[in-house]
Amino acid sequence: MVKITKKSKRVSCAHRYSIQKKVRGHNKKMKKEARKHPEFKKKRTKDIKIPNSAPFKDELLQQAV
């Protein structure tokens, strides 16, 4: 049985830099679209953080909800 040799992952610098340039352009385009359409952004829900040592913790949580 013939042993399969793995392909090298070496890339010329010119090719690597062109890929990085394309990625930068894509990310810039996505950020620009996100600025144009803010309604597509996902809003994070705020987590209510009250320490266990706080007095009346359960009452504070009920007021928040």
2 is a domain residue: no
- Name the residue range of residue 32's domain: 12-37
Q: Is residue 5 part of a domain?
A: no
The per-residue pLDDT for 29 is 96
What is the pTM assigned to this prediction? Answer: 0.52
Mean pLDDT of 51-64: 86
Buried b (16+ CB within 10 A) or exposed e, 9-47: eeeeeeeeeeeeeeeeeeeeeeeeeeeeeeeeeeeeeee
29 falls within a domain: yes
What's the rounded Cα separation, in Å, for the pair 63 and 51?
Answer: 16
* The predicted structure's pLDDT at residue 61: 83
46 belongs to a structural domain: no
Q: How many domains does the chain have?
A: 1
Q: State in Å, rounded, how far the first CA of the chain is from the last one.
A: 68
Q: Is 80 exceeded by the pLDDT of residue 65? A: no
Query: What tens digit of pLDDT does each residue of 18-30 get?
Result: 999 999 999 999 9
**CA dihedral angle for residue 19, residue 22, residue 28, residue 32, rounded to 10 degrees:** -150
